[in-house]
Amino acid sequence: MLKQLMISALGFSFAMSAVATEINVEEVATGLKNPWGITFMKNGDALVTERAGGLRMLTASGELSEPITGLPEAAVVGQGGMLGVALHPDFDNNQLVYVCLSVADGNVRGSEVHRGKLVGNTLTEVKEIFVAEPKIDSAHHFGCRLVFDADKNLFVSLGDRGSKKEESQNPNNHFGVVVRVKDDGSVPSDNPFFGGQAPEVYSYGHRNVQGMTVNPSNGSVWTHEHGPKGGDEINILSKGDNYGWPTITYGVNYNGSIITDKTEMPGMRQPLTYWDPSIAPSGMDFYTGDVFPEWKGNLFVGSLKFRYLNRIVLDGDKVTSQEPLLKDLNERIRDVKQAPDGSLYVLTDSTNGKVLRLTKK
């Protein structure tokens, strides 16, 4: 433990709490280069990616390993690098780790998922199990969040790459989609576009999904994505559905110009909720632990733009209130994940990035 702070969870919400939850914030690790994703083992150890190209082991006691070897070199350019990380559901038995990273092929680059077996500080038997096609000359919107569902299928988010937003309406490529593959990269035969040009596609019409998690109450996959200027969304994935980008959106271009005058159309899913102005969301997890019993069932999302951790209270699939936490830290929150002991971990996005552990006072 390097430092402990006292933070009050007071702040905006649609329905203010009568009593604020007080939080202990512990700096577990510092000095990471733009930490991007974190995933936990059952013993409390974790793997953390650094966008600048590293994968590190973080022990439950706070020891940070040297970079784990074995993965291909990441294309660290723009928003690219070493990004999403997940463990196989049977990790205790097979030690399989999945990493999504941007990889260059000459002057073009794109997202790839690689799987390897963790042995000491090395990934062995590394295998490329998914490649987003086609690679293009863009440094933006790689997506790269990873989650497994209850059937041990792997969901991978893929952005529109910034310059290919119209292609998000085309399920025959990997721009602006979420794909679903088996744990070895093969394609489930019940995928909605199985037999087509991009059989891995599960849903389309996304801009850049930067948060993805499984709802523990029913197994559904939830995502959020960066809108343009306004229009960040939370969505519940449904097989084969179109989520509208860029045909419908609640946002505008960064220069204020209109993308579309439509916010809804037949055959296109509406978001569960959206933010305007944008909060620049990143990372997402449901809370089920006992450290904060009053937060059970809440959804947590990091905000890069406004530098807080957003607590979202739900009634089923309806958002009833939101509360920004950790604003006093003034840190861009890149990822959030519940640890096995019920504490919450967050990653701060900077060249001197931190891993923070939240517990109750």
Nearest to 99 by CA among 43, 51, 139: 51
**Measured CA angle at 3 (ends 18, 86), to 5 deg:** 80
The count of residues in the chain is 361
Rounded to an integer, what distance in angstroms lies between the CA atom of residue 335 and that of residue 48? 10
Tokens of residue 245, six digits: 């980008």
DSSP character at residue 65: P
Tokens of residue 113, six digits: 């998922």
| Long-range contacts of residues 17-21, Cβ cutoff 8 Å, at least 24 apart | 17/323, 21/292, 21/294, 21/295, 21/360
Strands (E), 215-298: 221-225, 232-236, 273-275, 281-286
DSSP character at residue 91: H
Tokens of residue 271, six digits: 């978001």
196: Cα separation from own chain's centroid: 27
> Catalytic residue numbers?
141
Nearest to 85 by CA among 118, 133, 120, 62: 118
Task: Mention every residue, 6+ apart, whose C-beta is less than 8 A from residue 153.
Answer: 180, 181, 182, 183, 188
Q: Are strands 4-8 and 154-158 parallel, antiparallel or unpaired?
A: unpaired
Rounded to an integer, what distance in angstroms lies between the CA atom of residue 38 and that of residue 86? 8
DSSP character at residue 68: P
Rounded to an integer, what distance in angstroms lies between the CA atom of residue 46 and that of residue 30? 15
Tokens of residue 319, six digits: 């958002």
Cβ–Cβ < 8 Å for 52, 350: no
